[in-house]
Amino acid sequence: MNYFPKYDGNIHPDEWINDIIKYYNMWEGSYGGFLITVKSLINPNIILPTEINDLVKLRDALKKDITFTTFKNLNKRKLQSLEYKSERDGGDTLKFLTDFRNLCYNSEINDIEEQKKYFIKALSNYYYFLSNFGKRMNNISSMNELIKEFEEIVMDESNTIRSGSIVALKHVATGKYLTSIEGLYYATGSKNQLVSMGSSILDSNALWKIYNCDNNNNNGFIKTNLCLEHKISKYCLGICHQIVIHQNHQSQYQNQYQYHKSPSSNHTEVNCNNGSETIWKICYDSGLENYEGYLKSNDIVNLSIIKKRYGTQDGQVEFLCSHDAQFTIGSDTFQEVFCNERLGENDEWCVELIKQA
């Protein structure tokens, strides 16, 4: 009998009885009968009423014993101290959900509203999961729905781009990747490291580190303003200007910013530099700027930048673009990337997550 499951209060009575029912055929004709055998497997410190003559009464008696109260309270305390650890931080979502479900079962917390309160408490270390689960709470009416909703949040988070991640920008119209080559410079304009459209096959020259440039850290994600650092050269994608002196119609001299021109179309040149004009703003759906979420892998966006006026922080908004125009440096031909104030099909970019930070 030593190899049969015994009951000492360290398992839920329902679970234990479900385990031993499978031995019914074996015990009914031997060991003195099924019910007598079952009773013999119960710790003698658990005193049972003498009138028990079926499993239903046995189950009720075990649940009324003080050991079951202790068992429930222990599991409730474990549930109160349960904390979610994200997969990014080495956690195991499946184990967490299994533990949560088992602890609710063992402590007999069956009301979904109470289960949701414990679940929210377990997410308290992660604003992203906490806030997104809070938005979905009203749609949850069962444990299965709770798990389904949270799994969707976890999948969504895995595709949300964190500051410091490595990305590639694919030009939607051409399918080619935004590229820069370390040590290769424009022959005209700024003479900084050039930016062009590369191949439709991803290579190391098309990899960029993306950084959050908003005034708050957005919990480590990218929301509105960003900087793109070329992974190999460490220079940032941007535009740049020189200061020129302009004489107005009143013969007064004024300083002005003069932005460098792209080599083919004479639009604003885009280059890789270490200057200050490297902050880009995300626009969704051709200018929609009130997007409430964070940047995700495969989002299609427009990227805008401000051409500043001298002495102010204001200026003209232009968008990152490319087209079929080409330029040459020596014997090599490149497809031009530039900034332009008009929105169109040539300024949509698909942000592909390559390696999460």
Helical segments of 107-258, H only: 112-122, 127-136, 143-158
| Torsion sign, CA atoms 227, 233, 234, 240 | negative
Distance CA 341, CA 319 (A): 6
Contact 19, 55 (CB under 8 A): no
Residue 312: predicted pLDDT: 67
How does residue 283 score in pLDDT terms, banded at 50, 70 and 90?
Answer: confident
Mean pLDDT, residues 8-20: 95
Distance of CA 33 to the CA centre of its chain: 57
Mean pLDDT, residues 142-170: 96
Secondary structure (3-state) at 113 = helix
Element (H, E) at 58: helix 55-64
Q: Please, is 174 exposed, middle or buried when counting C-beta atoms within 10 Å of its C-beta (0-12, 13-18, 19+)?
A: middle
Residue 274, Ramachandran bin (φ over 0: left; ψ between -120 and 50: alpha; else beta): alpha
Look at residue 23 and tell me whether its pLDDT is greater than 70: yes
Distance CA 106, CA 123 (A): 21
Residue 289: predicted pLDDT: 44
- Note the pTM of the prediction, 2 decimals: 0.80
Element (H, E) at 24: helix 24-28
Secondary structure (3-state) at 95 = helix
Distance of CA 120 to the CA centre of its chain: 18
Look at residue 130 and tell me whether its pLDDT is greater than 70: yes
Distance CA 339, CA 337 (A): 7
Domains of the chain: 13-64 (no CATH), 68-159 (no CATH), 165-355 (2.80.10.50)
Structure tokens, 110: 């069956």
Distance CA 284, CA 289 (A): 6
